[in-house]
Chains A and B, each alone.
Chain A
Amino acid sequence: MNVPIRMLGIATTIFWIVLAAFIASAAYSLKDLGFGVGDPQFTTTPDHGLIFTLPLFIDNRGYYSLKSFDLTTVFSDAEGVEISKASSFLPVIPAEQNTSILHNVTLGLNGIAEKYLFEDANLTCQVTAGLNFAEIVPTQLSANVGFLWGAPLYGFKLGNPQLSGSNPTYLATKVPLSFENHAAFDIVGNVTVRLFAGQDTLLAESQSTINASKNTRYSGALNFSVPVSAASAGNLSGHFEVYFSTTMFECGPVVIPYG
């Protein structure tokens, strides 16, 4: 019986040494692990969605591959309402290699509340990253990151209709338009404005192209041809119905009173 006992002792010792070596090398690998985040990029989808792409760089110079890397981001507004959720999964990040991941978050601007097109907001991004370190140590990191959402049509304003010319049947009317593009992307599209007198009398309709680079102020004007008969009736107040059609989103009608 002495031999089996001795063999059992030797086997136990070897296993302990292997375990100790594993812990030492795994801990040593930690210091050779690097993460980096690139500059975010914005692109659009054909259905007016905004894709926010975040490049991630993982430099795994350790001895062990990282498995089941899973990154999840949940964007929510100040009230906690979920706006967008996205996940990126990478089965294996091999040892001694640099790996990059593009984490794509689709923000459907058509689906989110209209107010975010006109008002800046503090949004929260809940980031959860999980991976299996050294094959047998599941690790998870979670963080809440707050960031300022810049409204693409911040401070959108239509001025009062101003007479700019006339002929026997129509009055040429100009309506100034302005807004600030606080968003991280450019806006290119059309704005259509319907001019109503009183409650529901359509006087005229006008369309204009808008092209506002990010973080710039846009000013323009819309030209209407208002029938003389309607204008002479003394309708000096009413409302505009505004429709936006851009590469990023479609929105409308937005009702703005005048007069």
Chain B
Amino acid sequence: MIYVVLAPFLTLLSPIVQGIEEIVEVLVIVNVVLIILSDLTWKTVYGCFLNAGRAIFTIAFVVFALGDGVFTVSPPSFTLTVDLTMVYGIVALLSLLGLARSVLQAINFMSERAESGLKP
């Protein structure tokens, strides 16, 4: 839903940050697939793994796909440099928060299973 809201604004950003629409599309598609899979495997340990995987994917995507976050556009007459490092830093931190939540969920799930004598 957030992507639907953000899509028109990404079009505005696309002249500054080339390929941002494609980058965000890949991020959204992978996230949506992982969300659906984690919902399907809800109340199993796989759901926790998929949530953790989603957070790790987001962090890795930010680090590897977007590099240092400094984008430079050079049309013939001028050069525009936009430093999005801070925004990417916030995205990475929020993903780390999501990862921490998933790890806690997994620990909680395992402990509940152990307490009830069930195998995970």
* Chain A positions near chain B (C-beta within 8 angstroms): 1-2, 4-5, 8-9, 11-12, 15-17, 19-20, 23-24, 27-28, 30-31, 136-143
Q: Write the nearest CB–CB distance from B70 to chain A, whole angstroms.
A: 9
Give chain B interface residues in 63-104, CB to chain A under 8 Å.
Answer: 77-84, 86-87, 90-91, 94, 97-98, 100-101, 104
A16 touches B12 (CB 8 A): no
- Contact A27/B10 with A5-B105, A139-B81 known, Cβ cut-off 8 Å: yes
Q: Write the nearest CB–CB distance from A131 to chain B, whole angstroms.
A: 11
Question: Once the chains are docked, how many angstroms separate the CA of A28 from the CA of B91?
Answer: 20
A20 contact set on B, CB distance < 8 A: 2, 5-6
A24 touches B81 (CB 8 A): no
B79 touches A143 (CB 8 A): yes
B90 touches A19 (CB 8 A): yes
Other A-B pairs beyond A5-B101, A24-B6, A143-B78, 8, CB < 8 Å: A5-B105, A5-B108, A8-B101, A16-B2, A27-B10, A30-B12, A139-B80, A141-B80
Query: Chain B contact residues: over half helix, strand or loop, or mixed?
Result: helix
Query: Chain A contact residues: over half helix, strand or loop, or mixed?
Result: helix
B94 touches A142 (CB 8 A): no
Q: What residue of chain A has the Cβ atom nearest to residue B90's Cβ?
A: A19
A140 contact set on B, CB distance < 8 A: 80-81, 83
B12 contact set on A, CB distance < 8 A: 27-28, 30-31
User: For the complex, is B42 an interface residue (Cβ under 8 Å from A)?
Assistant: no
Which of B77, B104, B107 is the most central at the interface, judged by chain A CB atoms within 10 Å of its CB? B104
- Contact A23/B9 with A2-B108, A136-B86 known, Cβ cut-off 8 Å: yes
- Contact A137/B97 with A20-B6, A142-B78 known, Cβ cut-off 8 Å: no
B79 contact set on A, CB distance < 8 A: 141-143
A1 contact set on B, CB distance < 8 A: 104, 107-108, 111
Q: What residue of chain B has the Cβ atom nearest to residue A15's Cβ?
A: B94
Question: Once the chains are docked, how many angstroms separate the CA of A131 from the CA of B104?
Answer: 41
Q: Write the nearest CB–CB distance from B110 to chain A, whole angstroms.
A: 11
User: For the complex, is B23 an interface residue (Cβ under 8 Å from A)?
Assistant: no
Question: Once the chains are docked, how many angstroms separate the CA of A141 from the CA of B74?
Answer: 10
Question: Once the chains are docked, how many angstroms separate the CA of A28 from the CA of B13?
Answer: 9
- Contact A27/B13 with A15-B94, A20-B6, A137-B87 known, Cβ cut-off 8 Å: yes
A24 touches B108 (CB 8 A): no
Q: Across chains A and B, which 4 residue pairs bring their CB atoms closest together, nearest first?
A: A27-B9, A143-B78, A136-B86, A138-B83
A31 contact set on B, CB distance < 8 A: 12
Question: Once the chains are docked, how many angstroms separate the CA of A17 from the CA of B86?
Answer: 17
Question: Once the chains are docked, how many angstroms separate the CA of A141 from the CA of B78?
Answer: 7
Q: What residue of chain B has the Cβ atom nearest to residue A130's Cβ?
A: B81
Q: What residue of chain B has the Cβ atom nearest to residue A143's Cβ?
A: B78
A23 contact set on B, CB distance < 8 A: 6, 9, 87
Question: Once the chains are docked, how many angstroms separate the CA of A48 from the CA of B87?
Answer: 49
B87 touches A16 (CB 8 A): no
Question: Once the chains are docked, how many angstroms separate the CA of A31 from the CA of B9?
Answer: 10
Question: Once the chains are docked, how many angstroms separate the CA of A119 from the CA of B46?
Answer: 79
Question: Once the chains are docked, how many angstroms separate the CA of A140 from the CA of B98?
Answer: 33
Q: What residue of chain A has the Cβ atom nearest to residue B71's Cβ?
A: A139
Question: Once the chains are docked, how many angstroms separate the CA of A138 from the CA of B97?
Answer: 26
A137 touches B101 (CB 8 A): no
Q: Write the nearest CB–CB distance from B89 to chain A, whole angstroms.
A: 9
Question: Once the chains are docked, how many angstroms separate the CA of A206 from the CA of B91?
Answer: 77
Question: Once the chains are docked, how many angstroms separate the CA of A160 from the CA of B105?
Answer: 99
